[in-house]
Amino acid sequence: MELKVSFLVGLLGLAACASAPPPAQHADALAGIVVTDSGGRAIDLRTETTGAPATVVEFFSAHCPCQKAHDERLVLLHDVYAPRGVRFVAIDAETGASPARDAEEARARGYPFPLLADATGAAARALGAEFATTTIVLDREGNVRYRGGIDSDRTHLTDDAEPYLRDALDDVLAGRAPRKPTGKVLGCTLER
């Protein structure tokens, strides 16, 4: 009996895994996904994430200590790479995401890039983001070149953290395949 139960539980687990769509590998999967900017304007995410030499999409959580710890590092990365044409957007894909809440969060955190509201979580599902600080790097054509965390730190930042996002941006901008196309994400589970 115990073996039968274990077998059935295993089959159910496989069925659950099989029903989850794989994360998008190209921004075309974002077509039709509409997010909202701080002014309440609807934005087609596919349009917002293509055309730049690289686009960083970071999944945001207002309550996550890992997010809070990485805010300054994310702003510094923006300051270094935006002059090189890299576009940065953060997406709040949690329940309760709203333009008003996200405008206040972006202001309080000093974000020089937009924090877009996606209350339905469609962007997170399409890109396979389950945790805060999940970061996706798209190339000019919209291909996913990197998916993972900002770096190897969690809530206590160190000078010797492995800089996953920085390395991926350097590689994409140099026309190389990222040396590490995935990195561990250490943020909180997105509340959806």
Output the pTM of the full model.
0.86
How far apart are the C-alpha atoms of 111 and 114, rounded to whole Å? 7
Does 23-173 carry CATH code 3.40.30.10? yes
Radius of gyration of the chain (CA): 17
**Position with higher pLDDT, 184 vs 46:** 184
Q: Is 149 exposed, middle or buried (0-12, 13-18, 19+ CB in 10 A)?
A: buried
Residue pair 151/159 in contact (Cβ under 8 Å)? The answer is no
Residue 49 has pLDDT above 70, yes or no: yes
pLDDT tens-digit series, residues 63-100: 999 999 999 999 999 999 999 999 999 999 999 999 99
Confidence band for 8, pLDDT divided at 50, 70 and 90 = very low
Could you state, in order of their start, the residue ranges of all structural domains in the chain? 23-173
**What is each CA distance from 103 to 96, 110, 116, 120, 136, in whole angstroms?**
13, 11, 8, 18, 22
What digits encode the pLDDT tens for the residues 91-135?
Answer: 999 999 999 999 999 999 999 999 999 989 999 999 999 999 999
pLDDT of residue 21: 52
Which tens digit of pLDDT belongs to each residue from 141-175?
889 999 999 999 999 999 999 999 999 999 999 99
Rounded to an integer, the average pLDDT of 39-60 is 93
